[in-house]
Amino acid sequence: MKKLILTGVALLALTACTDKMAFVDNSKLLNDYQEKKDIEAKLKGQISAYERKRDSISMAFQTEARAFDAQAKTLPQNVAQKKYNELMQKSQILQQHLQQEEQKIQMESQTQMDSLLSKVKKNIKEYGKQKGYTFILGANDGGSVLYGTEKKDITKEVTEYLNNQYKGKK
């Protein structure tokens, strides 16, 4: 009985040793992935356009507010109060509009990044199958892989694979 158990453990150990395992540095992979760079560049463009629009609207409103401030001294109090209320209402509407636009950009960014991560996982799975890996682990600052020898780090190869896949779909 002891021999059977020892044989089973030895067989299990030998089988486990034949598993092909590697890891990928998640942050390095994503930082070097061209599609992520392209998404970030596109989003930077949208953010810059939003910031220019926000600044332009802000400057126009400030000009209007200064003009009202100069004019308010000559107006009757009830008229000045009415115009002041209109100006405050306009300010709130502008702020709401800008907030909605900012949230739209944030949501688009999150959606694109979620889609990108899903695509990366799918492509890593395909890569692993093609190369005969049993496991491809993800290393990150959170510590899913605390140590791995350099020869088991396939980040560069997977990044090249992902970038080639991305180029092929462009």
Answer yes or no: is pLDDT of 136 > 80: yes
Q: What is the mean pLDDT of residues 12-40?
A: 83
Question: 14: pLDDT confidence band, cut at 50, 70 and 90?
Answer: very low
Taking alpha carbons only, the member of 167, 168, 157, 169 closest to residue 124 is 157
Res 8 pLDDT > 60: no
Give mean pLDDT, residues 138-164: 86
Asked whether the beta carbons of 85 and 55 are under 8 A apart, the reply is no
Cα 29 to Cα 161: distance, rounded to the nearest angstrom = 11
pLDDT-derived band at 131, boundaries 50, 70, 90: very high
Rounded to the nearest integer, the mean pLDDT of the chain is: 87
Between these two residues, 133 and 141, which has the higher pLDDT value? 133
Instruction: Establish how many alpha carbons lie within 13 A of residue 119's alpha carbon, considering only the half-sphere containing its beta carbon.
Output: 17
* Max avg pLDDT among 15-29, 103-117, 145-159: 103-117
Is the pLDDT confidence value at 51 over 90? yes
Question: pLDDT grade, residue 148 (50/70/90)?
Answer: confident
Beta bridge partners of 22: 136
Query: Is pLDDT of 149 > 90?
Result: no
Beta bridge partners of 138: 24
| pLDDT of 155 strictly over 50 | yes
Residues composing the chain? 170
Task: Calculate mean pLDDT across residues 9-35.
Answer: 76
Which residue would you say has higher pLDDT here, 151 or 142? 151
Reported as a single tens digit per residue, the pLDDT across 88-126 is: 999 999 999 999 999 999 999 999 999 999 999 999 999
